[in-house]
Amino acid sequence: MSFRLTRAFAGGVAALAIAFSAHGTAMARDLTVGLKTEPSSLDPQYHSLTPNTQIALTIFDPLVRADKELKPTPALAESWTVDGNVWTFKLRPGVKFSDGTPLTADDVVFTFERVPKVPNSPSPFTLYLKDVAKTEAVDPQTVRITTKGPSPLLLPNLGQLPILSRKAASGPAPEGKTTTELNSGDGLVGTGPYKLVSWRRGAELVLARNDNYWGKKPAWDKVVYRPMTNAASRVAALLAGDVDLIEDPPTDDLPRLKKDKNLTIQETPSVRVMYVAMDQFGEPSPGITDADGKPLAKNPLKDKRVREALSLAIDRKAIEERVMGGVAKPAGNLLPYPMFGASKAHADAPKPDVNKAKQLLKDAGYPNGFSITLGAPSGRYINDSKVAQAIASMWTRIGVKTAVEASAPPVFFKNRDSYKYSAYLAGWSVTSGEMSNALGSLAVTPDPAKGLGTTNRGRYSNPKMDELYMQAATTMDDAKRAELLSKAADMVMDDYGILPVHFELSVWAMKKDVFYPGRSDQMTQVQDVTLKK
């Protein structure tokens, strides 16, 4: 007796299989994310930048991971002890890399030794190892880290250092596999919940579930990241069902999106400060001219009165309301008060005072002002180029004629790191939850060899502030460290060494059956995205 499968029956079986795959126990569903900024590299030690870090911490794991409120929690290290300057970490047993190789202490040593060897890093990871004197493999499951002195920030710093596989990432170059090789996927082997499938720059980054993952099984078989620098395009893709979740929907669209019954909007307070950095080193400073367009031999930004005038010209409340659509809080410091190390003295943003700003310029010898170019990224931060245009208009109002040079993020960062801007708008997300992180990167006198001032591209320098910061860096007593950091931050604010503008409110929009709780560091961590039941 023969049996022939009819077309109708076959179609029904196929439909049932698809339905089971999407909704049954297997529930094979992919997640597609609309990214506002594509990572500049997949090398987890090349560029300390949120778009890079959020991918790195999905493919790799650190010893200690920061939770969504930036509190250190066990990851590859299941426990640790500290005795003076010696920290001992016990690795989680049974952890394997995505290629099946067991994790050992030797991989941790390799990872930390690679950090200072990575060339041409725009924002080096040496910042996170500046307190470490030596890392040793005591045995396959035990890592000993000796610090140069008391290190209150060691745990949050380790959270920024994903662990590579020595076997996979070794190579003939000093750093082992090069950044170019890792970008191609060669050596990009981690212990994280997902592993790399493919990366086509400008098109998509595809990850697949890592079946060797030691932790909770992630919800998605495959994750597809699509770079969409245009905010309107991200919203259109979400509404069309082409993506499941997007970062930073346009502030103008939020009221409409919140009313859409097919969507969920998640708003989370962040610790990202948007700031203006000013060249306080170059003589002359690039792009600064007098009222007649002639280059100024003397850099006006080295005069505190000029920097104060530029700060007083900025109406931060107007930017919050008119440019940011309410998804920001005006900033008077690098960290919101009362977070660790933020003082009450600068809890509130400075109020604008155009007349005083003009008088300060006159007192500094610039009664007719001067001209300057303000650099800014376009599409890296919420309304970044619009914020820059608003600041330019406010500076022009006091006599500092300002043009904005807004570039795609990779171009902006390259120019910034080459000191091509006299002033620029950028953002910094505090990774440790306390002031030391912002000060150590943005305000301490640059010393790349020691991992200090790694993103201080204005080259602000105050030795007295540096001294307070260094004292805080070795003070284990929380109350004393907070006081030292508060005083140090006050010095920077009183110097107008850097101009905080506002703190961003992080926003995600997603399909109604998708849930993401958000993070205060603004990272989109797909392992924390779940499917609503």
- Summarize pLDDT for 334-374 with one digit per residue, the tens: 998 888 889 999 999 999 999 999 999 999 999 999 999 99
pLDDT of residue 433: 74
Dist. CA 237–CA 361, nearest whole Å: 48
Question: Which segments of the chain belong to CATH 3.40.190.10?
Answer: 30-262+512-531
Is 437 a residue whose pLDDT tops 70? yes
Q: What is the DSSP letter of 406?
A: E
pLDDT of residue 13: 35
**Mean pLDDT, the chain, as a whole number?**
91
Name the band, by pLDDT with cuts 50, 70 and 90, for residue 15: very low
The SS3 call for residue 416 is helix
Name the band, by pLDDT with cuts 50, 70 and 90, for residue 59: very high
Using the Cα atoms of residue 34, residue 39, residue 40 and residue 42 in order, give the sign of their dihedral: negative
Question: Which segments of the chain belong to CATH 3.10.105.10?
Answer: 269-505
CA geometry: angle at 441 spanning 440 and 444, to 5°?
55
Name the band, by pLDDT with cuts 50, 70 and 90, for residue 34: very high
The SS3 call for residue 144 is strand
Dist. CA 287–CA 392, nearest whole Å: 14
DSSP assignments along 229-274, one per residue: -SHHHHHHHHHTTS-SEEES--GGGHHHHHH-TTEEEEEEEEEEEE
Is 21 a residue whose pLDDT tops 50? no
pLDDT of residue 28: 60
pLDDT of residue 429: 85
Dist. CA 401–CA 288, nearest whole Å: 10
Identify whether the C-beta of residue 93 lies closer than 8 Å to the C-beta of residue 87: no
The structure's pTM equals 0.73
Q: How confident is the model over 307-337, as pLDDT tens digits?
A: 999 999 999 999 999 999 888 999 999 998 8
Name the band, by pLDDT with cuts 50, 70 and 90, for residue 129: very high
pLDDT of residue 430: 78
pLDDT of residue 25: 38
CATH number given to 269-505:
3.10.105.10
Dist. CA 364–CA 300, nearest whole Å: 8
Dist. CA 206–CA 59, nearest whole Å: 11
Q: How confident is the model over 67-121, as pLDDT tens digits?
A: 887 888 999 999 999 999 999 999 999 999 999 999 999 999 999 999 999 999 9
Q: How confident is the model over 106-121, as pLDDT tens digits?
A: 999 999 999 999 999 9
Identify whether the C-beta of residue 281 lies closer than 8 Å to the C-beta of residue 459: yes
Give the strand pairing for 72-74 and 86-91: unpaired
Residue with tokens 């890079």: 52
Give yes or no for a cis peptide into 172 (omega within 30° of 0): no
Is 453 or 430 the better-scoring residue by pLDDT? 453
Q: What are phi and psi of 18, to 5 degrees?
A: -65, -45
Name the band, by pLDDT with cuts 50, 70 and 90, for residue 389: very high
pLDDT of residue 62: 98
Is 395 a residue whose pLDDT tops 90? yes
Mean predicted confidence (pLDDT) in 183-201: 98
CATH 3.40.50.300 fits 30-262+512-531, yes or no: no
Identify whether the C-beta of residue 279 lies closer than 8 Å to the C-beta of residue 458: yes
Give yes or no for a cis peptide into 140 (omega within 30° of 0): no
Identify whether the C-beta of residue 156 lies closer than 8 Å to the C-beta of residue 431: yes
Dist. CA 19–CA 493, nearest whole Å: 59
Is 271 or 352 the better-scoring residue by pLDDT? 352
Length of the chain: 533
Token readout for 441 is 């990167």
Is 365 or 23 the better-scoring residue by pLDDT? 365
| Region of 422 on the Ramachandran plot (φ > 0 left; ψ -120 to 50 alpha; else beta) | alpha
Q: How confident is the model over 511-532, as pLDDT tens digits?
A: 999 999 999 888 999 999 999 8
Residue with tokens 């909704």: 23
Mean predicted confidence (pLDDT) in 177-194: 98
pLDDT of residue 77: 98
